[in-house]
Amino acid sequence: MTAVAPPAPAASSVRHFRTLRDLSPSELRDLLVLGERLAQRLPPEPDPQPLAGRSVALIFQKNSTRTRVSFEVGVHQLGGLPIFLSQADTQMGRGEPLRDTARVLSGYVDAVMIRTFHQETVEELARFSRVPVVNGLTDLYHPCQLLADLLTIQQEFGRDRWSDLRVAWLGDGNNMANSWLNAAAMLGFELRLAVPEGFDPDPDTLARARSETTVVLTRDPRDAARGAHVLNTDVWASMGQEEEAEERMSHFRPFQVDGDLMDRADPDAIFLHCLPAHRGEEVTEEVLEGPRSRIFQEAENRLHAQKALLVHLLSGAGIHGAAAGPDPSIG
C-alpha cells in the first residue's frame, strides 16, 4: 500500500506570533505605540472594532488567570468572539492530533492562541493552521507577557529611551528570561541576567541576543541590579516544575529581589513581575507592594498590548498606520 503523503502545511503568508522574533523590530515599536493608545482607552483607528464578525480560539493546556481573561476581554472589546478551549474539555484531551485540530479550527476561527508546554507544539500548530497562531506561553517563551512588560517600560520611560536602558533579570533562566533576551536584541537595550549556575537561559536564544545587544550573565544579583532601570523576576519553579520547587529554592534564595537590591538600582528604577508572585520567595512583600512596583499596571497592559497584537495580526492594514499618535511622555 502506498503511504499517504502528509497534507501540505498551511500557507506561509499567514502571520504568526510564535516568539517575539515573528515581529520585525519596527513592527514591535509600532505595536507598543498602538498599545499605549489603547491603554488610554482610545479605540484603534480607522476601525474601532476590527474583529467584528471574527472569532479567536484560546487553547489552554496549562492554568491561567491573566492570559485567559485579557484575551477574552480583548477580543470582545475589539468586536470579536473569544472561544475558550481547555485541554480537558476538548478532543485534544483524548488524543486528537494537533495537526487535525489546527486544520479544523482554521475553518471556524480567525486566530488561535495556545498556552502549552513545548514550543514545538506552537510551531506545529502554526505549520498546519491557515490562521494566525499566538503563543500564550510555552516552557521556552512567553512573548505576550513581554509585550505588556515593554509597554509598561515605555509608559514609564518614553518611546525613545530603549538604547539607554538597563534591564535586570533576577532568578530563573526560564521562558520569561528567554523572551527578555529576544526583546533586548530587538529594541537594543542592555539586559543583565543574574541566574544561578545550572539555570541559564536557552543557549541559542542567549547566543543570538549576545550577537545583537549587550547581554551580561552574572551569578551576583548585585552586579545585575547596579544602576538598572528595571528589576524584574519570576517564580523559581514554573508550571510543570512543581516537584522541583523545594530543591530549586536552595539555589535561588540569594536571588530574591529585596529592598537592598532595589536601592542599588537607578533612582527611577521600577520593579516588574509577570505574576503570579510568591511573596517572600523571589520577591519581598516590601518590594512587591512598594512605590516602585508596577505589577498591576503591567498586568493590565496584557489587555492593551494583546489587543494591539490582534489588530496587527488580523486587520488588513497591519500595525503600520494603526499606531499613529503622539508620545504622551513627551511635553
- Distance in angstroms (rounded) separating the CA atoms of residues 123 and 117: 12
Least separation in angstroms between residue 66's CB and ligand NVA is: 7
- Distance in angstroms (rounded) separating the CA atoms of residues 2 and 25: 46
Residue pair 80/131 in contact (Cβ under 8 Å)? The answer is: no
Largest CA distance in the chain: 73
**Catalytic residue list contains 142:** yes
- Distance in angstroms (rounded) separating the CA atoms of residues 323 and 331: 19
Catalytic residue among 248, 274, 306, 312: 274
Identity of the residue, 111 or 323, whose beta carbon is nearer to ligand CP in the bound complex: 111
- The binder of 238, among ligand NVA, ligand CP, none, by C-beta within 5 to 8 A per type, is ligand NVA
- The binder of 235, among ligand CP, ligand NVA, none, by C-beta within 5 to 8 A per type, is ligand NVA
- Distance in angstroms (rounded) separating the CA atoms of residues 103 and 57: 13
Residue 73 contacts ligand CP per CB under 6 A: no
Residue 66 contacts ligand CP per CB under 6 A: yes
Catalytic residue among 29, 142, 166, 312: 142
- Distance in angstroms (rounded) separating the CA atoms of residues 255 and 157: 26
Identity of the residue, 14 or 69, whose beta carbon is nearer to ligand CP in the bound complex: 69
- The binder of 249, among ligand NVA, ligand CP, none, by C-beta within 5 to 8 A per type, is none
Identity of the residue, 129 or 182, whose beta carbon is nearer to ligand NVA in the bound complex: 182
Residue 145 contacts ligand CP per CB under 6 A: yes
Catalytic residue among 77, 234, 256, 312: 234
Q: How many residues of this chain bind ligand CP (CB under 6 A)?
A: 8
Residues that bind ligand NVA (CB under 6 A): 137, 142, 174-176, 234-235, 238-239, 274
**CA distances to 33, 130, 306 from 39, in Å:** 10, 30, 11
Q: How many CB atoms lie within 10 A of CB 321?
A: 12
Identity of the residue, 44 or 74, whose beta carbon is nearer to ligand CP in the bound complex: 74
Least separation in angstroms between residue 233's CB and ligand NVA is: 10
**Catalytic residue list contains 61:** no
Identity of the residue, 153 or 323, whose beta carbon is nearer to ligand CP in the bound complex: 153
Binders of ligand CP among residues 250 to 279 (CB under 6 A) are: 274-275
- The binder of 175, among ligand CP, ligand NVA, none, by C-beta within 5 to 8 A per type, is ligand NVA
- Distance in angstroms (rounded) separating the CA atoms of residues 265 and 298: 19
Least separation in angstroms between residue 144's CB and ligand CP is: 7
Residue pair 58/82 in contact (Cβ under 8 Å)? The answer is: yes
Q: What are phi and psi of 12, to 5 degrees?
A: -80, -5
- Distance in angstroms (rounded) separating the CA atoms of residues 266 and 274: 21
Query: What own/partner pairs with CB < 8 Å and gap ≥ 24 does 23-29 have?
Result: 23/186, 23/312, 25/186, 25/187, 27/312, 27/318, 27/319, 27/320, 28/150, 28/186, 28/187, 29/159, 29/187
Where does this chain touch ligand CP (CB under 6 A) — which range of 61-69, 152-160, 260-268, 285-293?
61-69
**Beta pairing partners, 293:** 271
Identity of the residue, 50 or 201, whose beta carbon is nearer to ligand CP in the bound complex: 201
**Catalytic residue list contains 119:** no
Residue pair 166/227 in contact (Cβ under 8 Å)? The answer is: yes
**Catalytic residue list contains 274:** yes
Residue 87 contacts ligand CP per CB under 6 A: no
**Catalytic residue list contains 222:** no
**Catalytic residue list contains 154:** no
List residues with catalytic annotation.
115, 142, 145, 234, 274, 302
Site residues for ligand CP per CB under 6 A: 64-67, 137, 145, 274-275
